[in-house]
Structure 1
Amino acid sequence: MIRFRHLTLALLGTLAFAPAAAFAQDAYATQTTSSTDGATKRFAVVGGYALSEPTSNPSIAGARTPVDGDGAATLSASYYVTDNIAVEAWGAADKFGHRVRNANGGKLGSVNAQPYAVSGQYHFGTSEQTLRPFVGLGYYETNYDGESAEPTGALAGQRIGVETTKGAMATAGVDVKLSPSWFARADLRYLHGDSNVMLDGQNAGKAELNPVVLGVGLGARF
């Protein structure tokens, strides 16, 4: 949770800096980038870091089990069909490691999650602008592995399995133009869906995490 708050502050700092950056960059962007040049930059890639914080607690064997958030590197690639409409492939380049706890905060086990998604996005304004907010909607899947139980917890000695989660993803973010080719990005993604939790091969509940994924990154458009 502390890391999630730190990244929230970083995102807010980016948004606070954006108007000043926009003011400083407007003249530069006008002089160096024409609408024709912007239209030819169809591809964008972004590398960044994100924190995934579950908003729901899964139910395992009839009990609610809080799950801790975690951070991981992320990558995305976008194709701009027009200057405003883009198709994005996004995913975690590493795995989010989640700890599963009981109602008293004791550790029950752990699991690794790696989401990836495809979405359509609408970018407001034009590519000449320094500050460009965007929204998106798409489909995601999250693969789980490394499921393990604590040797002394309520799940001790049981084999845990979590099926792949599939569902809808909503995105909102902002790009801050640094040069004709480089930009900074801050975004917020909400992943909605659930999957079955298995104990010793038997269905024992639902993994309904519905995480909020808050990220920052550096991108290039070409």
Structure 2
Amino acid sequence: MLSIRTLTLALAATAAFAPAAFAQDASGDTAAGKRFSVVGGYSLTEPTRNPVIDGNLTKAEGEGTPTLSAAWNITDNISVEAWGADKAGYRIATGGNKTASIDGQAYSLSGQYHFGAADNTVRPFVGLGYHETNYSNEKAAGSGALAGDRIGVETAKGAVATVGVDVNINPTWFARADARYFDGDGDIKLNGAKAGTTEFNPVMVGVGIGARF
């Protein structure tokens, strides 16, 4: 959780000092009317809920992962975004001891609303959509509570909500900070039998650099 708090403070500082750091473009180019944008970034994952597996309350911790998004800007304020992340590992512990490790890979499709004019230096936005998170590389720890069990985790599906801010560097390039909340769960199976649900409901806090065309 400390890493996410540190990243969040850094994002807030970036947004606060952006008007002084980035000068307006003097070439006559404008961000208005550019209908496509892409953003490459990096996000830290933190589960907000801990699953119960085979009757045991566990503690889940996430990690960081690269992300990539592409958006069609229907207007200067409304866009549709396809977003995806590389695999992020989840470490599962019971009673302070490592129980299992799982890789999760999320992707989503969202509608977004961007506030203000396209050429404003700072532009907050919000979004709502649908996500699926695929799980793989499920492994039980050699000496944990699930040692020797075969673990399977089904794809989690549900709603995703986004809040963020874009900081225009010039009419083409911008910096982005965002936070995404993923709701949804999938069954956890031990040796083929249901033993709980993921219910990670993670928050992903990230930064990135984008370009619009």
The one-letter amino acid paired with 2:4 is: F
Q: Is the 8 A contact 2:92 2:98 kept in 1?
A: yes
Partner of 1:18: 18
1:190 to 160, 177, 181: 181
Could you tell me which residue of structure 1 aligns to residue 93 of structure 2? 101
CA contact (8 A) 1:130 1:177 kept: yes
Match of 1:38 in 2: 32
Q: SS at 2:184's partner residue?
A: strand
Matched, 1:66 2:66: no
TM-superposed deviation, 1:11:
1.4
The residue type paired with residue 68 of structure 1 is E
User: Aligned residue for 1:178?
Assistant: 169
Aligned mates of 1:115, 1:217 — CA distance in 2? 17
Judge conservation of contact 1:30–1:128 (CA < 8 Å) in 2: no
- Percent identity between matched residues is 58
Which residue matches 2:210?
Answer: 219
Distance in 2 (alpha carbons) for counterparts of 1:32 and 1:100: 53
Amino acid at match of 2:32: G
More helix per residue: 1 or 2?
Answer: 1
Residue 163 (structure 1) shift: 0.3
Instruction: Determine the C-alpha separation between the residues in 1 that align with 2:46 and 2:173.
Output: 28
Task: Could you tell me which runs of 5 or more consecutive residues in structure 2 were left unpaired when the two chains were aligned.
Answer: none
The one-letter amino acid paired with 2:126 is V
Change (3 A) 1:30 1:82: farther
Q: Map 1:141-156 to 2 at 5 A.
A: 141-156=132-147
Deviation of 1:12 (Å): 1.9
How far apart are the structure 2 equivalents of 1:7 and 1:95?
Answer: 20
User: For the aligned residues, what is the CA RMSD?
Assistant: 1.4
Alignment check: 8 A CA contact 1:33 1:128 kept: no
- Secondary structure of residue in 1 paired with 2:61: coil
Tell me how far apart the structure 2 counterparts of residues 43 and 12 of structure 1 sit (CA, whole Å): 26
Give the drift of 1:31: 6.0
1:101 partner amino acid: A
189-198 or 57-66, larger mean C-alpha shift:
57-66
Counterpart for residue 115 of structure 2: 124
Instruction: Read off the aligned partner of 1:186 and give its amino acid letter.
Output: A
1:47-66 pair list within 5 angstroms: 47-66=40-59
Q: Indicate the SS of the match to 1:38.
A: coil
Matched to 2:200, the amino acid is L
Matched, 1:199 2:170: no
Tell me, yes or no, if the aligned pair for 2:186 and 2:199 is still in contact at 8 Å: yes
SS at match of 1:56: coil
Pairwise CA distance, 1:13 = 1.9
Return the alpha-carbon distance in structure 2 between the equivalents of residues 148 and 18 of structure 1.
44
Letter aligned with residue 134 of structure 2: N
Residue pair 2:15, 2:122 contacting (<8 A) in 1 also: no
* Cα distance in 1, alignment partners of residues 28 and 62 from structure 2: 42
Q: Please name the residue that 1:8 is paired with.
A: 8
Does the CA contact (< 8 Å) of 2:173 and 2:210 recur in 1? yes
Q: Distance in 2 between matches of 1:97 and 1:170?
A: 21
